[in-house]
Amino acid sequence: MSRMTVYPAAGRVVPDPEAGGTLAAEGRDVPRDAYWLRRLRVGDVTTDAPEQNEDVTPDVPAPDQVVTTDAPKKAKAATNPPASAAPGSDE
């Protein structure tokens, strides 16, 4: 019987009847039988290996690349009038 390598689809936990337990995220070589073909057809597994992100450093500029501005900040306008000037007050 032929074999294929399968990987769990994103967010899926797939029982592995041959090995016991669940299919590991690294995938596994499994028999090309009705069980695994059905898992493939319904989207529980995929034959595409997950992408490996070797470089997980964030895109943060180096200290010598930091851009600063000397523009003055604008003051925020008051959104609520003082309580003494509120409409409907009889003072």
Q: Enumerate the domain spans of the chain.
A: 3-46
- Model pLDDT for residues 20-61, shown as the tens digit of each residue: 999 999 999 999 999 999 999 999 999 998 887 665 555 665
Element (H, E) at 7: strand 3-8
Residue 9 CB partners (closer than 8 Å, separation 6+): 43, 44, 45, 46
Does 2 score more than 90 pLDDT?
yes
36: helix, strand or coil: helix
The mean pLDDT value for 5-27 works out to: 95
pTM of the predicted model as reported, rounded to 2 decimal places = 0.56
